Amino acid sequence: MTNDHAKPILICYDGSDGAKRAIEAAGGLFAGRKTIVLNVWSPISLMVAAYGGMAALPSYDDDVLQQGASKVAEAGSAIATEAGLKAQPEIAEVTYQGTWHTILDVADQYDAEVIVLGARGLSAFKSALLGSVSHSVTQHAHLPVLIVPPVTQREKVAAPVERAASTA
């Protein structure tokens, strides 16, 4: 990576534990850097197309979904600020080209230096069936991508033990 700190880093944030872990990793690696915390949201029309009709979906309008996306991005931005980043929230509406494409469009818009995202740790079968945003971003990006792996089972088990030991 270059020393050009005028370029921001782009962190993809959906409120998941993996996304929070990605923010924490970015804070450790890129402390003090300008950061865009992105939440990509889906309008009802795309959900209808994806799920085959309104019967499977609750009734929302796109304004409510967009407001929810803004709240998620703001929450991620607050976490990033706590992690030592100069964060600002951003939202983007996904298109028929997919979430990964929207992420790359936003990275281009901000001339990001790196994209940071958390991996969900899907099995190979689930990843093939559902697709993988992190995989697609990596395959199509023209800039560095940092994928932060999910918490391992060992880390999940050790965390409560470490917390108990520190309070004793």
Predicted confidence at residue 166, as pLDDT, reads 64
Measured in residues, the chain has a length of 168
Above 80 in pLDDT, residue 5? no
Confidence of residue 96 (pLDDT cuts 50, 70, 90): confident
Above 70 in pLDDT, residue 46? no
Query: Which region among 19-33, 60-74, 96-110, 121-135 has the lowest average model confidence (pLDDT)?
Result: 121-135
Report DSSP state, residue 59: -
Give backbone dihedrals phi and psi of 36, rounded to 5 degrees, phi first.
-105, 125
Q: Comparing 38 with 97, which gets the higher pLDDT?
A: 38
Q: Which of 38-42, 64-68, 85-89, 155-159 has the highest mean pLDDT?
A: 85-89
**Domain 9-167 CATH class label:** alpha beta
Q: Comparing 48 with 65, which gets the higher pLDDT?
A: 65
Please give the Cα distance from 109 to 136 (Å, whole number).
19
CB 148 within 8 A of CB 118: yes
Q: What is the mean pLDDT of residues 50-72?
A: 72
What's the token pair of residue 150?
């999910």
The shares of helix, strand and coil residues in the chain, as percent rounded to the nearest 5, are 50, 15, 30
Sheet with 114-118: list strands edge to edge: 86-93, 34-41, 9-12, 114-118, 145-148
